[in-house]
Amino acid sequence: MRIDVITIFPDYLNPLREALLGKAIERERISVGVHDLRDWTHDVHRAVDDSPYGGGPGMVMKPDVWGEALDEVCSGRDVTPRLVVPTPAGRPFDQKTAVRWSKDPWLVFACGRYEGIDQRVIDDAATRMPVEEVSIGDYVLVGGEVAALTMIEAVVRLLPGVLGNPQSAEQDSFSDGLLEGPCYTRPEVWRDRPVPDVLRSGNHAAIARWRRDQALERTYHRRPELLAALPEGDLDAADREQ
């Protein structure tokens, strides 16, 4: 997979080179390009923003600079990229979105700052490529960079050969519509707290049942709306007793 990020703060994306993402680059599962938006300015001030039409606070990112940047970054390959624009005004990003994007050959992230990017940039790009404006949650960040990092990490860990154990991705919270329950490792007793007996019983059916019950209980308390959204057939008789 190819990933490009356009930003006025390229250093913000340095964590891409660390840990799991860095390993994925080393192993050539992904290749990453981070581009400084100001490289496409033509004035001495290298301006990327201007005041908003209609008035109001803040600044809007200029269409001419973004237009040239996207023309260049989104061309030159034999596939079309998906353009992702992180914005608090976007559709919610979730695990389903991550799974869908993980099948794409090429993602381009356009990170806006200030009040946002002139809408015509997005509308114009959408005539040539799939474009998604997405939010990572109901809070406002200073810009799209951290949101892009978040989404890239969620996508890249799903690529084959990136996680050491492929079952990790399959057992994620959300992959069955529930939150994952608690987990334990050695020692058997820590600060007078024992590991639940069932996990040391060797009874795989009982362990699976216990884990499912814990997941249901946790989801019920922390994210009741997820339980309500489960398809009818997803709960078995034992689940209903919970």
- Residue 196 is a binding residue for ligand ADE (CB under 6 A): no
Please pick, among 104, 115, 176, 180, the residue that the annotation labels catalytic.
115
Does residue 5 touch ligand ADE according to CB under 6 A? no
The distance of closest approach from Cβ of residue 109 to ligand ADE in the complex, given in angstroms and rounded to an integer, is 10
CB 136 within 8 A of CB 84: no
- Which of these ranges, 26-34, 102-110, 141-149, 171-179, lies near ligand ADE under the rule CB under 6 A? 141-149
114: left (phi over 0), alpha (psi -120 to 50) or beta: left
- State the nearest-atom distance from the C-beta of 124 to ligand ADE, in Å: 20
Cα–Cα distance for residue pair 17/1, rounded to 1 Å:
15
In the three-class reduction of DSSP (H, G, I as helix; E, B as strand; rest coil), residue 231 is classed as coil
115 in active site:
yes
Q: Is 88 among the catalytic positions?
A: yes
> Does position 88 bind ligand ADE by CB under 6 A?
yes
Q: Which among 50, 124, 172, 239 is annotated as catalytic?
A: 172
- Which residue in this structure is represented by tokens 């709960």? 235
Nearer to ligand ADE, 135 or 214 (CB): 135
Query: Up-side HSE of residue 155: CA atoms within 13 Å toward CB?
Result: 26
Q: Is 102 in the site for ligand ADE (CB under 6 A)?
A: no
Q: Using the rule CB under 6 A, which residue among 61, 84, 136, 158 binds ligand ADE?
A: 136
Contact between 86 and ligand ADE (CB under 6 A)?
yes
- Using CB under 6 A as the binding rule, whether residue 59 contacts ligand ADE is answered as no
State the alpha helices, DSSP H only, in the chain.
19-26, 63-73, 95-101, 119-125, 145-156, 166-170, 204-222, 224-228, 237-241
Instruction: Determine whether the annotation assigns residue 71 to a binding site.
Output: no
In the bound state with ligand ADE, the residue whose beta carbon lies nearer, of 85 and 227, is: 85
Q: Count CA atoms within 13 Å of residue 139 on its CB side.
A: 5
Closest CA to 144 of 158, 159, 130, 132: 132
Does the protein bind ligand ADE through residue 44 (CB under 6 A)?
A: no
Q: Phi first, then psi: give them for residue 134, nearest 5 degrees.
A: -135, 150
According to the annotation, is 155 in a ligand binding site?
no
Q: Which of 28, 139, 236, 240 binds ligand ADE (CB under 6 A)?
A: 139
Cα(131)–Cα(81) distance, rounded to whole angstroms?
Answer: 9
Q: Is 140 annotated as a binding residue?
A: yes
Stretch that binds ligand ADE, among 14-22, 36-44, 54-62, 84-92 (CB under 6 A): 84-92
Is position 123 annotated in a ligand binding site? no
d(CA 103, CA 234): 26
- Residue 231 annotated among the catalytic residues of the structure: no
Binding residues vs ligand ADE (CB under 6 A): 86-88, 135-137, 139-141, 143-144, 147
